[in-house]
Amino acid sequence: MTQECPESTTVRAALGVAGRAQNPFGAAGWRWDPLPGGLGLRIADFQDETISATERPRLRLAGTRQRTTPQEHGEPAPDTAFLAAGAALHAAVLAFAAFGWQAAVREPRARGHLAALAFSPRAAEPSDIDRAAALVRCRADRRPYLGWALRPDQADALTAAAEAMGVTAVVVPARAALVPALGGGRSEGPGSLLVLSTPGATVADRLRAGAATSAVLLAATALGLSACALPQVRAAVGPVAPEVVVRAGAAA
């Protein structure tokens, strides 16, 4: 009979690798719970009194309370915990692939879970191991960047990484008008901005946006670029209302 779930030692090892990845949104107090044939992701102190009536049937979520740690540029937005959880999901999927397991993100069935991972065995490819290793190396770079925009091929690669997660991505030049919002000069300088947007503002949308942010930062690392998420300027780019803005370029 084919094993439908990795052994506990493999689960601990894979989650250990995923946990070493730097989450672009900081810690969000999430935890993994064992489920039949998979794992469930929850946020600490999740409640069920605040979820909207329209979201509950489709997402089977419990609410929007979260416990987060302050980020480098101040307190996170109220929904940053969901973005962080999405990034954690992406990290876990990549980590399990390196251990020979395909982890598919599913709608949760257990109360209080944001999402579930369902497993199926799949031989790890060298590229899976390389991505997991890059995930651990990937770090946000908030230094000033050099004054050139992304090349078309670089912009295309970052856009493709976001779109693979079901998120719309548009690359725009960084603008001086954004500098006051970047916090104490720690993310100042030129470069390009990748604006990540989703069709709606549900929790599921924010999970996808968080996963896309993680994927974009990983793609930037593979290209030798510096990058960082700028959740504090989410609504400051053009007429759109982005979920996340990612800054990318070459550090000075």
Residue 146 CA to residue 90 CA, distance in Å, equals: 29
Count CB atoms within 10 A of the CB of residue 233.
22
Task: Give start-end residues of each CATH 3.40.109.10 domain in the chain.
Answer: 152-249
pTM metric for this prediction: 0.79
Q: What is the mean pLDDT of residues 4-26?
A: 90
- Least confident range from 37-41, 90-94, 182-186: namely 182-186
Q: In a 3-state reduction of DSSP, which class is residue 81?
A: helix
pLDDT at 175: 61
pLDDT score at 56: 30
Look at residue 238 in the predicted model and tell me its pLDDT: 52
Give pLDDT, residue 10. 93
Cα separation of 91 and 17, whole Å?
8
What is the residue whose two structure tokens read 């908030």? 142
> Which ranges constitute the DSSP H helices of the chain?
8-20, 55-59, 80-98, 126-137, 152-163, 203-222
Residue 110 near residue 40, CB atoms below 8 Å: yes
Task: Give me the pLDDT at residue 233, please.
Answer: 63
Alpha-carbon distance of 57 to 64, in angstroms, equals 15
Cβ-contact 213, 83 below 8 angstroms: yes
Q: What is the rounded distance in angstroms from the CA atom of residue 122 to the CA atom of residue 96? A: 10
pLDDT tens-place string over residues 110-126: 778 889 999 999 999 99
- Asked if the model's pLDDT at residue 62 lies above 50, the reply is no
Q: What is the pLDDT of residue 147?
A: 74
- pLDDT recorded at residue 234: 53
Predicted local distance difference test score (pLDDT) of residue 51:
34
Task: Measure CA 14 to chain center.
Answer: 17
| Residue 5 backbone phi and psi in degrees, to 5 | -150, 140
Q: In the predicted model, is pLDDT for residue 167 greater than 50?
A: yes
Average of per-residue pLDDT across 130-148: 87
Sequence letter at residue 18 = A
- pLDDT at position 71 over 60: no
pLDDT at 177 over 60: no
Supply the pLDDT for residue 210.
Answer: 93
User: Which residues, other chains included, contact 113 with Cβ-Cβ below 8 Å and sequence gap of 6+?
Assistant: 33, 40, 41, 42, 62
On whether the CB atoms of residues 205 and 171 are closer than 8 A, the answer is no
Residue 181 pLDDT > 50: no
Give the integer Cα–Cα distance in Å for 103 and 105.
7
- In angstroms, the CA 43 to CA 30 distance is 4
In angstroms, the CA 111 to CA 227 distance is 36
Specify the residue for token string 């720690």: 186
The span from the CA of 80 to the CA of 77, in Å, is 5
- CATH of span 152-249: 3.40.109.10
The pLDDT tens digits for 201-251 are 788 888 999 999 999 999 999 999 999 998 766 544 555 556 788 989 888
What does the pLDDT read at residue 12? 93
Please report which helix (H) or strand (E) contains residue 108, including its range.
none
- The encoded tokens of residue 21 equal 């990845």
Q: Is 178 helix (H, G, I), strand (E, B) or coil?
A: helix
Reported as a pLDDT band with limits 50, 70 and 90, residue 9 is very high
pLDDT at 78 over 90: no
